[in-house]
Structure 1
Amino acid sequence: MATTSVMHTVLVPLKQDQQEIFSQDVIRGLSAKNKYLDSKYFYDAEGDRLFQEIMRCHEYYLTNCEMEILREQSAVISQTILSHTRHFDVVELGAGDATKSIHLLKELLKTGQDFTYYPVDISGNVITQLERSLPRQLPALKVHGLHGEYFDMLQQAGILSRKTKVVLCMGGNIGNFTPPEARKFCRQLRNYLQPGDIVIIGFDLKKHPQIILDAYNDAAGFTRDFNLNLLKRINQELGGNFDISKFDHYPTYDPGTGACKSYLVSLEEQDVKIGDHTFHFGLHEPVYMEISQKYDLESIGQMATQSGFETVADFFDSRRWFADCMWLCI
């Protein structure tokens, strides 16, 4: 009979420390000459809910593209992993609801390999939900949730288990960095891994600009609400007094560089208080919220090589709009 193994979530750092860091990051961003907010703070409980709505939007093709890859090709991906290692654990950075990676986890379980799944997410709500739902869906799966920053939790996973790591960076999360930041992230990732470890990383590929722009400006307004929700979170957690009706969501896409960026634009001249701090917003002043960088295969291959990886395989959806790339640590 299959057994379920769910271990205690690692809560690092402490909640009060996280709130202090949140406050410092917000004050720093809104004090800058060109105002910005850190997109990692989108994901409170309401942000998680709104992002689930975004992923269900027909305009947001990324989810369906990667879901197709994992649903249709997980057996091949599993066999490719097993051709390199049979003594491993799976670590997923930014696990979300695991609705895509669950297909690969199922295939790996079918092989009879003894592995633990370590979902990592900055949202404690996400980890709690995964630890409740995954054992019901995959009773044989060992789950150990890790709540915190990616590299801190990857290091924690290395302490908990000395097995080879299969690290999943799904959903095109690498696109949340500019290309220089992405290269830095991949080099840092490599520094936390050992030769023989495997990374499977999702990249949204360049395509017709309108397809990309529509994905970040859905007709139902979920992406708009997702961005504005961060202002609500600042009000609730940091004592802010943002009037949400006085800001609008504005996405842009540059097909030359592949940079898709989102802004909140002030609809009037106004002052906003957050605790003891007051911030002035000019009429039409933008607040930079996030980037969703798009790539071509040549630049992806260069990033792998420059970061200390060797490309093992690239897996595409049927339209070749998205790629899950398997890299080997060398």
Structure 2
Amino acid sequence: MIELYKSKIEKDINEAEILINTFRDDVEKGLDKIEKTLPSKYFYNKKGDALFVEIMNLPEYYLTRSEFDIFKNKTEQLIEAFNIDSNSYFELIELGAGDGLKTKELLKTLDSKNYKFNYFPIDISLNALSLLEKDLNNDMPNVSVKTQQGDYFEVLNSLKQSKKPKVVLFLGSNIGNMTDEQASSFISKLGNNLQKGDKLLLGVDLIKPEAIVLPAYNDSKGVTASFNLNLLDRMNNELGANFNLNYFKHHPEYNEKTGVAKSFIKSTINQTVEIKAIGKSYSFAKDEKIHTEISRKYNDTLINQIILNANFVINNKIMDSKAYFADYILTRY
């Protein structure tokens, strides 16, 4: 028993070291660029997770509420757009399920109408999947939940073997955190794991005026600023950096014409920062920006462009009551 416990501790330490080393390497790669970058995935540690939950409840942050509006009030339209027979079995697969807040609305209706399906939530977080499974077992005991931890495409490839009809959910405008080239590649790779006739629900934020979009990334309480700057705090704690957060600020930008929102961390003075884990110092000029995140907004033209070579066709587009957000229903051909 002692040896097993010791082995587990060693395994946890090794995994933690791998994560820190990957973090270090990604930071070095980004800060060595002429136009400095930091990967947005490192926003999410314990503090970052809590800040993002707070962001989702802010009055300025319309994205979560908008898609929830669709799932809450237009559930019948979504199900109709899936074009599935209530008497035939299908697989409902969600990429990055998280807490399943929106999907629960869909599951309730499918359950009440006696659709025959298994729900496969995929997420990298085992904790999130465990909590989701527990919630669903309590609230909807008739729904068959088969949690899948791991990489989207590895799980999809394993599920592909079943040959059963599939409906894949990719919500929250997560596709918007990719460049257009990355999004096209992602959709193509996703399609390669599906069969003819399978459906993809792609949730995207729509192009809107700056007056609506920019406050979602620059709220009046400064929570988004804290979320962005938490990246520097994490580097201080985990990589031995000496960023002084008083000399950096959150800086969001949005271009209405292109529909691209970007988040930056801007240096407010000329300064040099040491990162011990990398063994380097980095100079930042006054007003120099570190790019941390992209949040692409879409319209029909852009969606058609990213699915151009992926063998998908748009069947339906369902919007929230304010037409801020859209869930596109695509069919694999």
Same fold (TM over 0.5): yes
Identity of aligned residues (%): 39
Question: How far is the alpha carbon of 1:323 from its aligned partner?
Answer: 0.5
CA distance in 2, matches of 1:96, 1:290: 20
CA distance in 1, matches of 2:19, 2:148: 15
The aligned counterpart of 1:116 is: 118
RMSD: 2.3
Query: Counterparts of 1:1-330 in structure 2 under 5 Å?
Result: 17-83=18-84, 86-158=88-160, 161-268=162-269, 269-282=271-284, 283-330=286-333
Q: Contact (CA 8 Å) 2:317, 2:326: kept in 1 or not?
A: yes
Question: How far is the alpha carbon of 1:99 from its aligned partner?
Answer: 0.9
Q: Contact (CA 8 Å) 1:119, 1:127: kept in 2 or not?
A: yes
Q: Contact (CA 8 Å) 1:201, 1:324: kept in 2 or not?
A: yes
CA distance in 1, matches of 2:80, 2:89: 13
CA distance in 2, matches of 1:123, 1:46: 16
Question: How far is the alpha carbon of 1:98 from its aligned partner?
Answer: 1.3
Question: How far is the alpha carbon of 1:301 from its aligned partner?
Answer: 3.0
* Unmatched segments (≥5 aa) in structure 2: 1-14
SS state at 1:36 partner: coil
- The one-letter code of the counterpart of 1:266 is S
CA distance in 1, matches of 2:32, 2:288: 13
Alpha-carbon displacement from aligned partner over 1:189-225 (angstroms, at most 9, x marks no partner): 1122222221000111111111111111011112111
Q: Contact (CA 8 Å) 2:163, 2:195: kept in 1 or not?
A: no
Alpha-carbon displacement from aligned partner over 1:4-60 (angstroms, at most 9, x marks no partner): xxxxxxxxxx66544433332222112222111111222223222211111111111
CA distance in 2, matches of 1:199, 1:68: 19
CA distance in 2, matches of 1:117, 1:186: 21
Instruction: Pick closer, same or farther for the CA change 1:274–1:323 going to 2, 3 Å.
Output: farther
SS state at 1:97 partner: coil
Q: Contact (CA 8 Å) 1:314, 1:326: kept in 2 or not?
A: yes
SS state at 1:100 partner: helix
SS state at 1:306 partner: coil
Runs of 4+ in 1 over 6 A off after TM superposition: none
CA distance in 2, matches of 1:120, 1:279: 39
- The one-letter code of the counterpart of 2:93 is V
Instruction: Pick closer, same or farther for the CA change 1:146–1:276 going to 2, 3 Å.
Output: same
Q: Which moved more, 1:212-221 or 1:137-146?
A: 137-146
CA distance in 2, matches of 1:288, 1:328: 35
* Unmatched segments (≥5 aa) in structure 1: 1-13
Q: Contact (CA 8 Å) 2:67, 2:102: kept in 1 or not?
A: yes
Q: Contact (CA 8 Å) 1:31, 1:279: kept in 2 or not?
A: no
Q: Contact (CA 8 Å) 2:239, 2:275: kept in 1 or not?
A: no
CA distance in 2, matches of 1:118, 1:250: 38
- The one-letter code of the counterpart of 1:228 is L
SS state at 1:320 partner: coil
Question: How far is the alpha carbon of 1:295 from its aligned partner?
Answer: 1.2
Q: Which moved more, 1:149-158 or 1:97-106?
A: 149-158
CA distance in 1, matches of 2:137, 2:167: 20
Alpha-carbon displacement from aligned partner over 1:76-109 (angstroms, at most 9, x marks no partner): 2123324368322222112232111111111222
Larger CA Rg, structure 1 vs 2: 2
CA distance in 2, matches of 1:87, 1:220: 47
Q: Contact (CA 8 Å) 2:129, 2:149: kept in 1 or not?
A: yes
Q: Contact (CA 8 Å) 2:266, 2:287: kept in 1 or not?
A: yes
CA distance in 2, matches of 1:315, 1:150: 25
CA distance in 2, matches of 1:234, 1:145: 32
The aligned counterpart of 1:4 is: none
- The one-letter code of the counterpart of 1:215 is A
- The one-letter code of the counterpart of 1:212 is V
Instruction: Pick closer, same or farther for the CA change 1:35–1:307 going to 2, 3 Å.
Output: same
The aligned counterpart of 1:3 is: none
CA distance in 1, matches of 2:17, 2:136: 29
- The one-letter code of the counterpart of 2:111 is L
Question: How far is the alpha carbon of 1:289 from its aligned partner?
Answer: 0.5
Instruction: Pick closer, same or farther for the CA change 1:39–1:77 going to 2, 3 Å.
Output: same
Instruction: Give aligned pairs, total.
Output: 317
Q: Contact (CA 8 Å) 2:205, 2:325: kept in 1 or not?
A: yes
Q: Contact (CA 8 Å) 2:24, 2:278: kept in 1 or not?
A: no
The aligned counterpart of 2:7 is: none
Alpha-carbon displacement from aligned partner over 1:287-323 (angstroms, at most 9, x marks no partner): 1001111111222234334321011211011221111
